[in-house]
Amino acid sequence: MDKILVTGGLGFIGSHTVVELQEAGYEVVIIDDLSNSSENVLDGINAITGKMPAFEKIDLKEKADVEAFFKKHSDVKGVIHFAASKAVGESVNEPLMYYENNIGTLVYLLKELKKLSEASFIFSSSCTVYGQADELPITENAPVKEAESPYGNTKQIGEEIIRDTCKVVPTLKAIALRYFNPVGSHESAEIGELPIGVPQNLVPFITQTAAGIREQLSVFGDDYPTPDGTCIRDYIHVVDLAKAHLVALERLLQNKNAANYETFNLGTGKGSSVLEVVQSFERVSNEKLNYKIVDRREGDVISAYADTAKAKEQLGWETKLDLDDAMRSAWKWEQKVRGV
């Protein structure tokens, strides 16, 4: 079976995708710098799949290390690229760090893929490329607007770099997957979302607050033009999301697509407000959450949820799990990690 490189493969989405790849029979090699992950995730992947993936600790900002990896693994057939900094708020405060880490590393990877006789590349993109969309749900044809944050801008620029490269490198085929908001964990509770330090995403902050690690959840603004005043997002279960990467990769490896470069939205097609997520958690966990409404956060769009028709029609993929499933699995994972 083909060898697949997964960068950031010990992270939240990466680890779940590694599970799907290994269960489908692929040989997986993980690169991760462990800046926001743990080597212990390997044990969780092994517990689920019965196979320990190969792992190399590499900082993709080190060009020489990237070159050395591809000399050693010249038989890589596909790359799924997750490794990136991903916090909207942090990117506003540290833009240069985000451009260096998210753009420079992508260029180094593509330079190596250009040398191969054939290569398939899946890019971890984001619905942030749309900014505050004019129409909802958001289709892949929606205009890519000026980004609301440096993080969002790195995803826009990343897509442009890949598209431009694919135009002139006929041996490279790529798909950019524009995720909405990944949540939840594997049903086994062997892997899940475990950010280092203070969580930047809503759901781990919810579960850590319920577990007593965080004193209070801050809800950023309740004066948005939405039914309950809080921001609306499309929360997709991470297992559904991981399965989409497998389907997209197989589309490239089997040469079914005519285009060298494609984009797909990955979401549920349904928007949920921050308060609806809180209510879902309280419902499935029987825990009362301590939360407080605070000022809006810079860089947040009001509402974003996906039109998923293209992924369904062309990839044959759609979500199977809902928000309650995601919150239930996230809490199960948190309880296991914390011994709650």
- Token pair 């006929």 is found at 170
- Token pair 């038989």 is found at 75
Q: Give Cβ neighbours of residue 204 (< 8 Å, ≥ 6 apart).
A: 193, 194, 195, 330, 334
- Token pair 């850590």 is found at 208
Local structure of 274: helix, strand or coil: helix
Where does residue 222 rank: exposed (0-12), middle (13-18), buried (19+ CB within 10 A)? middle
Distance CA 172, CA 162 (A): 9
Residue pair 241/13 in contact (Cβ under 8 Å)? The answer is yes
3-state helix, strand, coil in the chain (%, to 5): 40, 20, 40
Out of 151, 179, 235, 305, which one is annotated catalytic?
151
CB atoms within 10 A of CB 87: 19
Residues linked to residue 125 through DSSP beta bridges, in sequence order? 178
Among 210, 231, 311, which residue's Cα sits nearest to residue 274?
231
8-state DSSP, 52: P
Residue pair 119/77 in contact (Cβ under 8 Å)? The answer is yes
Distance of CA 185 to the CA centre of its chain: 13
Distance of CA 271 to the CA centre of its chain: 18
Q: In the annotation, is 151 catalytic?
A: yes
CB atoms within 10 A of CB 288: 8
Local structure of 16: helix, strand or coil: helix
**Residues known to be catalytic:** 151
